[in-house]
Chains A and B, each alone.
Chain A
Amino acid sequence: DTGVSQDPRHKITKRGQNVTFRCDPISEHNRLYWYRQTLGQGPEFLTYFQNEAQLEKSRLLSDRFSAERPKGSFSTLEIQRTEQGDSAMYLCASSFLTGGVLPYFGPGTRLLVL
């Protein structure tokens, strides 16, 4: 296993379109996180899963955003009716346990909404 993978790596879409991103965590990791990073800022937490359960959602995650993790494996993040303000890097991370086990981040999906 070579780490967390994300697909696609880049996405350009027009305002109003829907987009979906996929994250494949490290296989034995039961925790999966989504973060969003805008230009010049640090990543901001969006949501996290333990196995298939979504345990916390940030207020940043408006009703246009939905995340799933069926069967506790890969996860998808969908953005409906995209807006220009959604342009950002979307980062996925996974970990096995808390208490010192570092989350491993994927390479990110860079979204540009025109």
Chain B
Amino acid sequence: GAVVSQHPSWVICKSGTSVKIECRSLDFQATTMFWYRQFPKQSLMLMATSNEGSKATYEQGVEKDKFLINHASLTLSTLTVTSAHPEDSSFYICSARAAQGVVINEQFFGPGTRLTVL
């Protein structure tokens, strides 16, 4: 149990286009989902925290108009990278926190999405 999926697993896009990444909790409800960015050989950087039905909370230095987050249901959050540029190329990882159950407060991580902007 507690499986989180991401789609797509990798995407290549042209500079200036927008890319949407989906994060789904497959077998549990997640009131909170987190979006991280990971540069090569570096740690995870928390970008934002999204709560179902409300606006996401962005970390300092993360542009909310560039990285649009929507958490429309208890099993789905999306991250849209708008007007992508090569510097947005990175590995994006989501995690989900269970709303109930014995592992409440635990974060379960998705497999990540590799974004390459040409």
A and B assemble together:
no
